[in-house]
Every structure is written in C-alpha cells, then in structure tokens.
A and B are shown apart, each in its own frame.
Chain A
Amino acid sequence: MTAPPRLAIRGLRCAVARWPALDLAPGACAALAGPSGSGKSRLLRAIADLDPNTGEAYLDGTPRAAFAGHAWRRAVVFLPADGAWWAERVSDHLAAVEPETLATLGFDTDVAEWSVRRLSTGERSRLGLARAVALQPRVLLLDEPTANLDDATTEAVERVVQARREAGLAAVWVTHDPGQARRLGAQPFTLHDGTAREAAS
C-alpha cells in the first residue's frame, strides 16, 4: 500500500474559480499560473479554508473536515502576497526560526530586534516566508512570494523552500514565471476560465 499524498484536492470550488484535482506527494510542488485577477490567490485561500468553499481537501489522507479550522491552517500555511505585521518588533511575529533560514534570506540574527516599521517591501516578503516556514508546515501555499524581489533574492527564497521540500514539505506556488516553475521542478497548472488544469509541459 502506498502512502497517501501529502495534499490532495477534489472538486475544490470557491466563489470565482475551481481546482478539480490535485495530488502532491511529500516534497512535491505545483506551480499555478494564470492571468491577473483570474482567482489564483482565491484558490490558495480556499485550500487554506480562509474563504467559504466547497469540495474536498486531504492532508496525508485525512479529510479537512476532521481538522478544526485553525489546526488545518497550522499545517497548511498560506503565505499571502503582503502579509500584515501587527506587533512592534520582528521577533514578536517569528516563533522559532532557524538562523540558517534567516541567513539564506540575507538577514543577520539581529533582524529579530528590528522594528517592523523600518522593513522594506522586499524585507517584509522575505521575513513573511521565514515566519511561515518557522511553523514547520506540512503544506505551504505561496502567493507570488518573489514578485517584488531581484534575481539573487528570488533564488534565496527558492532555496529556502527547496530545503523544506527535501524534508517533506509540499508546496503550491503561484507564479507568472515559467522559468521559476521549471527551476522548482513543479507540476505546472494553469488557471483558465475559472478552472485550474494541468498544463502541457
């Protein structure tokens, strides 16, 4: 008997889009492309169960309904394009982030003491990733995490996620960049006319 997929989706439907089927083994990655405003973020939010939606999602074979909302999202973490920072210091938002992750993303360990007000947009999105992976999620849903970043920083973000994938993390990555999908070795999906389908690679 083979192990169930880390993340499986069957007939997921939110207000604007649907994702009929997806199976991601531990360590696997799906890349979702599609025009702006077609509902890619909404699909990620639906997988994380942040918006009302219908359909089934399974984590390691366990249906989503068996988890409380927060327990599901603790394991299936959604990384929004521009997450909020509500407390004074960076450290108030980062639980137990490994120094290596911060170093890969180009931060010294003293970043924890920074005030969130002095963070640039790029620093916010990189620290957003650090904050998400610090939770040790089993699935990570990334909404264009490198949209505001230069090539070197983009590569650092990809390396952080790749390292987690080697430990079993499954990722769904919204990206406009076919090159990025190839570098990630991701199953390519396209959202077209409100339906996410596997793209011919």
Chain B
Amino acid sequence: MTPEILELQPWDLALAGGLVIALAALTHAGRLGVARSLLIAGARTVVQLLLVGLVLETLFANATLYWVALMGGVMLLVAGREVMARQKRRFTGLWGFGLGTAAMSLSSFSVAVLALVALVQPEPWYQPQYAIPLLGMLLGNTMNGVALAVDRLTDGAWQQRDVIETRLALGEPWSAAVESIRRDAMRSGMIPMINAMAAAGIVSLPGMMTGQILAGAPPLEAVKYQILIMFLITVGTGFGTLAAVWLASRRLFDERERLRLDRLT
C-alpha cells in the first residue's frame, strides 16, 4: 500500500469557493453584516496562499541556506510587526518592534534549528521542505503567546500603576512590585498552548496531523510528528513568552527601579 496524494482539481476548489460565496450571499440577504469581510478574507486566502505556494516552489528548487535564512528572516519581521500591531499600549521607539522580534527570534529560531539538527535530521539540515513549515508553526504560535503576554503585561502595569507605585514606595524591589502582573502575563501567553495540548485528539484533531493523514501518511506516523511539533511549539512559545515578559517588565522600570509608564505610548 503506497500512500498517494489525491490531487485536487481546479474544479474542486471552485466548488468550495462557490459555497463561500453562497454563504456570503445568504448573510447579505439576511442583513447579518459579515458578507463583505467574509469575501475579502476569502479572496485574501486565495491570493496569499497562492503566492506563498509559488515562493515555496521556488525555494524548494533553490534549497540553499542563504535563501532559507532570508525567508526565515522575512517571516520573523512580519511576525514582529504583527506582535507590535496587537498591542494596546506599545513601547516607544525601537522597543515597540524590537521587543517581540527579539523574543521570537531567540526562541523560535533556536528551537527550529535544534529540531532540525538533532531531531528531524533532514539532509541538509536546512532543507526548506522541513525548515520552513517548522519555523512557520513555531513563529505563528510564539507570536500569539508573545503578543498576548506583552499586551497583558503593559496593560496590567497601566491599570495597576497605583499598586506598583505603592509597593515601590514601600521599598519593594521592582521585580516584587510587578510580580503578580508578570504572573498574569505569563499565564496569558502560555494558556492557549497548554489548553491545546490538553485537548489534543479529544476535542479536535490537530491541523498538522489532519493534513498528513489527508496526504496519505499512516495515522501513527502523523501522531508522532504531531506530538513532536506540539512539544516544540510549547517550548518555543514558552521560552519566547518568558523572554518577552522578562524584557518588557525590565523595560517598564529604569535603573533606579522607577515605574516608567512614559515608555509606553
């Protein structure tokens, strides 16, 4: 039994797209207001994924470390921009962009390289067929964790500035004054991943595993990959969130341990 990919015909996609258009028409008729954004999002999916498909085809054909690293760098910068855009209160200056980007590059890149070199071991280790999807999944999840955690931290510090300042005034070190907010932030960043691990396979089949099974892989092989990926994502998200929370909370205080909310926009 050789697993085989059942190739999709343009007609198959057109049929699925037609269903989306029918859904949009129905919500439009019912004045439910999501038709427009539904169509725009649907169109974006087609265009963006086709473009990325073309990029990946090209990349797979030119599997040099240089091109893979360039692609990884672009993905990182886009993720860094996204983290910044999701903040209610951003850090001013270079920190606004640099904080999330630094945290993600530390964790996602090192976990991805570790997984490629030590665990998956493709030949060569940067083979884009493995490197790019792995990095993409790591970055995507770490981005969520970092964005949630930093948003929670800065907003928490803003909302509870009276508590922080009172604790500072009573002679507590900055790390003690911000401790409970830091704990909340860490929790916000990690909970989605912890929940996903806890519910994996019971509530839903994880996307990557589903994809591999649809592509014809034996379920147990897909499961092994999924477990590996989930652990890697958790570790990447965890270290990224940890780094972001540490950097951000340090940045909220200056060298005299004063709360510096003027460093937020």
Interface residues, chain A, with chain B CB atoms under 8 Å away: 48-52, 68-71, 73-75, 77-80, 82-84, 86, 131-132, 135, 137
B155 at interface by CB-CB < 8 Å: no
Residues of B within 8 A of A75 (CB): 171
B interface residue count range (under 10 / 10 to 19 / 20 to 34 / 35 or more): 20 to 34
Residue of B nearest to A71 (CB): B171
What are 10 A-B interface contacts by the 8 Å CB criterion? Answer: A52-B260, A69-B258, A70-B257, A73-B168, A74-B171, A83-B162, A84-B163, A84-B165, A131-B170, A135-B171
Instruction: Assess A70 versus B173: contact at CB under 8 Å? Given A49-B256, A50-B258, A52-B258.
Output: yes
User: Does A132 contact B170, Cβ atoms closer than 8 Å?
Assistant: yes
B57 at interface by CB-CB < 8 Å: no
- Cβ distance A14 to chain B, nearest Cβ, rounded Å: 12
Residues of B within 8 A of A71 (CB): 171
Residues of B within 8 A of A68 (CB): 173, 257
User: Does B163 contact A70, Cβ atoms closer than 8 Å?
Assistant: no
Contact with A along B135-168 (1 / 0, CB 8 A): 0000000000000000000000000101101111
User: Does A77 contact B180, Cβ atoms closer than 8 Å?
Assistant: no
A contact patch SS? loop
User: Does B169 contact A78, Cβ atoms closer than 8 Å?
Assistant: yes
Residues of A within 8 A of B166 (CB): 80, 83-84, 86
Which of A50, A74, A137 is B165 in contact with, Cβ under 8 Å?
A50
Which of B162, B171, B254 is A73 in contact with, Cβ under 8 Å?
B171
Which of B169, B254, B258, B259 is A77 in contact with, Cβ under 8 Å?
B169
- Cβ distance A80 to chain B, nearest Cβ, rounded Å: 6
B172 at interface by CB-CB < 8 Å: yes
B174 at interface by CB-CB < 8 Å: yes
Of residues 77 to 118 in B, which have CB atoms within 8 Å of A's CB atoms? none
User: Does A73 contact B165, Cβ atoms closer than 8 Å?
Assistant: no
Residues of B within 8 A of A131 (CB): 170
Residues of B within 8 A of A50 (CB): 165, 168-169, 258-259
The distance in angstroms between the C-alpha atoms of A132 and B166, with both chains bound, is: 10
- Cβ distance A52 to chain B, nearest Cβ, rounded Å: 7
Chain B CB within 10 A, most for which of A49, A73, A132: A73
User: Does B170 contact A86, Cβ atoms closer than 8 Å?
Assistant: no
Residues of B within 8 A of A49 (CB): 256, 258
The distance in angstroms between the C-alpha atoms of A82 and B171, with both chains bound, is: 17
Of residues 215 to 265 in B, which have CB atoms within 8 Å of A's CB atoms? 254-260
Which of B160, B165, B257 is A80 in contact with, Cβ under 8 Å?
B165
The 9 residue pairs across chains A and B that have the minimum distance between CB atoms: A74-B171, A69-B257, A69-B256, A84-B162, A84-B166, A78-B169, A84-B163, A70-B173, A83-B166
The distance in angstroms between the C-alpha atoms of A73 and B173, with both chains bound, is: 9
Residues of B within 8 A of A69 (CB): 168, 174, 255-258
